[in-house]
Amino acid sequence: MELLSGREIAPRVSGLINAKYQIHRFSVHLTVRNIYALDPVGQVDFGGSEYSPAARTALGTVRRNPEDTYEWWDLSRGRYQVEFNESVNLGEDELGLLEPEDRLMRAGGSHVTLTLRGKLETLEAPLVVETLRLQIKKNARISRLRVFRFKLAAEAPSAPRARTARAPKKKKAARRRR
């Protein structure tokens, strides 16, 4: 498996806000488009006939300063759903890992590391706020995408054939001459 550079990852990501600040040596930052509160009830069953996702409600933002271009979400402790500005289109031989950004974690928020495959037009992650309050600015860089390329079974080199042990050849007994 090979870790791709940020420059190699960038063409697989659309909707970047500012490539100069989002593309890094071995990753690309993803930014917040929307944050949703979740209805406290969802349902999952074995067959799926009773499945019901938790309803989502888009949270409003507030302008902290009159001169601010972007507004802020003011989140209290709890669980939310984040929608990113970016979408991802990974190749058949690629795997993406979406990790929380260090600054998000130090500020009191986090999300699970997600494994991504294929084309994802709408990219989302569950957000957990552990502090009493967490303020997130619109378009904040809160996650880091890393992409790995692996060899498909058809491309993988075959393993060297194991040699079977052979019985040692018997040495011809030297005739004794009398």
The model's pLDDT over 82-114, given as tens digits with 9 standing for 90+, comes to: 999 999 999 999 999 999 999 999 999 999 999
- Count of other CB atoms within 10 angstroms of residue 85: 18
* Total of domains in the chain: 1
Closest CA to 102 of 64, 144, 73: 144
**Length of the chain measured in residues:** 178
Residue 87 belongs to some domain of the structure: yes
Residue 140 belongs to some domain of the structure: yes
pLDDT given at position 111: 97
Q: Is 134 exposed, middle or buried (0-12, 13-18, 19+ CB in 10 A)?
A: buried
Give φ, ψ of 153 to 5 degrees: -55, -40
**Beta-carbon contacts of residue 125 (< 8 Å; ≥ 6 apart):** 81, 82, 84, 98, 111, 112, 114, 143
Output the CA–CA distances (angstroms, integers) from residue 129 to 19, 40, 66, 143, in the order listed: 27, 16, 27, 14
Averaged pLDDT of the chain: 91
CATH number assigned to the domain comprising residue 119: 2.70.40.10
Percent of the chain with pLDDT over 90: 79
Does position 30 have pLDDT exceeding 70, yes or no? yes
For range 117-144, the mean pLDDT:
97
Residue 103 belongs to some domain of the structure: yes
**CA-CA distance, 114 to 32, in Å (whole number)?**
16
Residue 176 belongs to some domain of the structure: no
pLDDT given at position 166: 61
> Which range of residues forms the domain containing residue 72?
2-41+49-149
Does position 177 have pLDDT exceeding 60, yes or no? no
Residue 172 belongs to some domain of the structure: no
Q: Convert the pLDDT of each residue in 54-72 to its tens digit.
A: 999 999 999 998 888 899 9
Give φ, ψ of 112 to 5 degrees: -65, 155
Does position 175 have pLDDT exceeding 60, yes or no? no
